[in-house]
């Protein structure tokens, strides 16, 4: 998926490394004048150390730099840790995508942040 993202020329990824090892990343598509966060991921042993927040801040700053009017994302409805992070970064729930995740048929919460 990441390799395909780079081919479109409208994708940005921010990578977190420690000692030459990737420990997290965040991706965003730039679609016209909006951002769409594709993924925020931190390795389990590095979670809870503020890296997710740092990634979110960098993505938000990038969106401002690119003059985007807002950013959207989908998150599993059961992922309360991620929802808390997004809400604390200014994202608001805007809707539900029923059965969005093919592996579990879980719904996704659609969130939006105006810039």
Catalytic residue status for 101: no
Residues 92 and 95: their CA atoms lie apart, in Å, by 9
Question: From the candidates 86, 87, 94, 100, which is the catalytic residue?
Answer: 86
Burial of 86 (0-12, 13-18, 19+ CB in 10 A): buried
Q: Which of 78, 115, 72, 79 is nearest to 95 (CA)?
A: 72
Question: From the candidates 74, 87, 100, 106, which is the catalytic residue?
Answer: 74
C-alpha distance from residue 12 to each of 16, 35, 82, 105 (Å): 14, 10, 20, 28
* Element holding 71 (H helix, E strand): strand 70-76
Catalytic residue status for 86: yes
Q: Which residues are catalytic?
A: 74, 86
């Amino acid at each position: 998926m990441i390799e395909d993202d780079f081919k479109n020329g409208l994708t940005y990824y921010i990578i977190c490394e420690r000692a030459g090892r990737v420990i997290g990343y965040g991706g965003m598509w730039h679609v016209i004048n909006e951002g769409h966060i594709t993924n925020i991921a931190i390795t389990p042993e590095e979670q809870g150390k503020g890296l997710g927040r740092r990634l979110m801040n960098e993505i938000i700053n990038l969106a401002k730099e690119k003059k985007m009017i807002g950013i959207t994302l989908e998150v599993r409805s059961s992922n309360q840790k991620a929802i808390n992070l997004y809400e604390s970064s200014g994202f608001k729930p805007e809707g539900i995508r029923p059965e969005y995740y093919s592996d579990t048929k879980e719904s996704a919460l659609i969130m939006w942040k105006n810039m």
